[in-house]
Chains A and B, each alone.
Chain A
């Protein structure tokens, strides 16, 4: 059995576990925590994800689909982001789990603090920070807001599990603390997929 075969089996097992957990519990904080532990355990099997099997991004980042379901849209990806890659605070509308295979990515967690009365205007406040590195992960609920930054001198390689496949993301809401703005845009992340 090749590494690719083993990887496919492990990914299918993960999604079976995801379905078992969410069918029983729904998408609750405890369910998301359980999913995180599952994804962290899979990411710890670095031998299943040799970088030679995944093209490095020329510039910034790339998402490699590992398992994308046709019916309910769950998406499991291997993501590679080069040092310095950043994303402003955003809400992609769906829960997600991240776990690191290699490298370090800093996630800052925000909450919106304005009264949503003025279109395009938003203020956010940082309420937490998580360093996703080998052996750790993070879970976010449907409308959590986070920013990301790859820190250190090596690419961040990780697994990302979403409640939708990236191509099905309806939109992403971007918050920019510097400009006190929120802009909701169609997702372009599928364009970055290999």
Chain B
């Protein structure tokens, strides 16, 4: 019997929807899979369309995925949902 991948709870603050995000998914992938119209374009951290505000919890920024975020934006809690997530509440740019 296949084991279910470990997942984290994620709340999209704008829509107040709580979804599960597996360890193999990015926030964006989990949100789109749940039918949430999350703004994005490149999905690889280059264009910045999906830059979101982290209200609570922790999102892991992969080194390859933060090109369009300045250190000031990161300090201000901005995150990219193309990164893996721990339990978190994000507000999308939409």
Residues of B within 8 A of A191 (CB): 68
Residues on A with C-beta less than 8 A from B41 are 174, 183-185
Residues of A79-131 at the interface with B, using a CB-CB cut-off of 8 Å, are: 82, 84-88, 90
Q: How far is B32's CA from A59's CA once the two chains are assembled, in angstroms?
A: 27
Give the size of the chain A interface in residues (CB under 8 angstroms).
23
Task: Name the CB-closest residue of A to B43.
Answer: A176
Q: Which of A58, A60, A84, A192 has the most CB of B within 10 A?
A: A60
List the B residue with the shortest CB-CB distance to A179.
B32
Q: Which residues in B have their C-beta under 8 angstroms from that of A28?
A: none
State which of B40, B42, B62 has its C-beta within 8 Å of the C-beta of A87. B42
B71: contacting residue among A58, A61, A84, A185, CB under 8 A:
A58
**Binary interface encoding of chain B residues 61-83 relative to chain A, with 1 for a CB under 8 A from any of its CBs, else 0:** 01111111001000000000000
Expressed in whole angstroms, the minimum distance between the Cβ of B32 and any Cβ of chain A is: 6
Q: Judge whether B84 is part of the interface by a CB distance below 8 angstroms.
A: no
Whether A19 is near chain B, meaning CB under 8 Å from some CB there, is no
A90 touches B63 (CB 8 A): no
A188 to B41, CA, bound (A): 12
Cα(A59)–Cα(B46), bound, Å:
12
Q: What is the CA–CA distance of A184 and B42 in the complex, to the nearest angstrom?
A: 9
| A58 vs B62: C-alpha distance when bound (angstroms) | 13
Q: A90 to chain B: which residues have CB within 8 Å? A: 42
Residues of A within 8 A of B65 (CB): 60
Interface bracket on B: 20 to 34
In whole angstroms, how far apart are the Cα atoms of A179 and B25 in the complex? 13
Q: Which residues of B contact A184 (CB under 8 A)?
A: 41
CB-contact partner of A188 in B32, B44, B46, under 8 A: B46
Q: Which of B32, B48, B67 has the most CB of A within 10 A?
A: B67
Interface string of A177-194 (1 = CB under 8 A from B): 011000111001001100
What A residues does B68 contact at CB under 8 A? Answer: 188, 191-192
Which one of A58, A61, A84, A188 lies within 8 Å of B48 (CB-CB)?
A188
Residue of B nearest to A175 (CB): B42
CB contacts (< 8 Å) of A174 on chain B: these are 41-43, 46-47
Report if B29 contacts A (CB, 8 A): yes
17 contacts between A and B (CB under 8 A): A57-B67, A59-B63, A60-B65, A60-B66, A82-B64, A84-B64, A87-B46, A88-B42, A88-B46, A90-B42, A172-B47, A174-B43, A176-B43, A178-B43, A185-B42, A192-B67, A192-B68
